[in-house]
Amino acid sequence: MKLEDKVALITGASRGIGKAIALKFSEEGAKIIINYNKSEQEAFKVFETIKNNGQEAYLMQADISKHIDIRNIIKNVMEECGKIDILVNNAGMVLRNSFFESNEESWSSIMDTNLKSAYFCSQIAAKEMLKRKTGSIINISSNSGIIPRKSKGIEYGISKAGMIYLTKSLALILAPYLRVNCIAPGWTETDMNIRFYNDAKARTDTENIIPLGRINKPEDIAKTALFLASDDSSNITGEIIIVDGGYNLKSLK
């Protein structure tokens, strides 16, 4: 197994991409820290699935938009497991408001949840990882952080672009002992987008503009995260892997 005896903290692991990563990592032998904020029932289902498969998991509630909660969850991981090998900064939110609809509250909500959390989770976890001179940090960004759009969600895109900058900077700061990489998914079947993807016409219209002809399953992102967490990518750091079926290439035409 590729992650045997590794301890992995995955933020926002109760649903969607975070859930898929938690399940995939557990299949490969990792002990999983399932972080959630409000989705307790969904988080418990992930916990039960992992335990029923004979793997080790821990449930840890925390609002990681708050610095004190981040400190506490890393402290709890160290007390329970004695180490942290892998951090996946996955927790995020989206507000589909336009530039002129945004305000200070919407800006702060997006930035605190998507970017501030990744920054301080990485900072506090990296201090523990560096004591053992090993570790992998994986940031879940979005192709929205790469491709400018006129559509709604500018604050979301800015926060995800920030995660890309953070990834490259931390790769330099934390080398040679820690690796820091990023996944930038395109459209993905998650609860965040379920209304859109349940609309047959909207789904077809979307898939028609993707070169490979389909949107992501959460498992597509989980498999990429496994690659970045494992020794298969032992000489890779500071990279942004776009998983969007080639949609980003359309901007090159």
Cα–Cα distance for residue pair 67/83, rounded to 1 Å: 20
Amino acid at 141: S
Is the alpha carbon torsion for 92, 168, 9, 16 positive or negative? positive
State the catalytic residue, choosing from 36, 58, 119, 156. 156
**Helices (H), ranges, 133-153:** none
Active site residue 197: no
Cβ atoms of residues 110 and 118 within 8 Å = no
Buried b (16+ CB within 10 A) or exposed e, 83-98: bbbbbbbbbbbbbebe
Q: Are 154 and 197 in contact (CB under 8 A)?
A: no
**Catalytic site positions:** 156
